[in-house]
Amino acid sequence: MTPIDRACLEWAYRIGLGFCAEDEVIVLRGGEIVTRHGIEPLDPSGSPTAAVIATLAGMMKLHLDGISFGKLRDDLLRSGVGEQFANRVYDHLVDVSVAEWDRLRARVRWYGDDNGAPIFASTSLSGDT
């Protein structure tokens, strides 16, 4: 997953399940979501809530790329998801404040600092052996 994918999935997960800014939520490179409850895979095909979260994350990504909320709603309707679902996603998007969109952009940069290299413990010896 790209940094923007990870950041948008994290924020959609927070919005969809009501996690606040103080709750630790991290999206791993493989798309698994880590919370204080453990590692949780997201399966949009197996859960309506997961489907909303995945759709919301995708719409957030498209909005960050410059697509308006109204266009995103229209695209959802044309995709056949239904008006109630499209309206629910749209409502979530427009309820996100400007400051929160700025924090999302900062989170994209935060995930971008994760260069994909594993973190290894130091193997240097200290003291007498």
Residue recorded with tokens 């791993």 = 28
User: What is the spatial order of strands in the sheet that 33-35 belongs to?
Assistant: 26-27, 33-35, 38-40
What is the bridge-based pairing of β-strands 38-40 and 26-27? unpaired
pLDDT over 90 percentage in the chain: 41
pLDDT for 88: 85
Please give the mean pLDDT across all residues of the chain.
86
**Two tokens, residue 120:** 């290894």
Q: Do the beta carbons of residue 89 and residue 59 sit within 8 Å?
A: yes
Q: Mean pLDDT, to the nearest integer, of 90-96?
A: 86
pLDDT for 128: 58
Tell me the per-residue pLDDT of 106-128, one tens digit each, with 9 for 90 and over: 999 999 987 655 555 555 555 55
Tell me the per-residue pLDDT of 28-46, one tens digit each, with 9 for 90 and over: 998 899 998 899 888 888 8
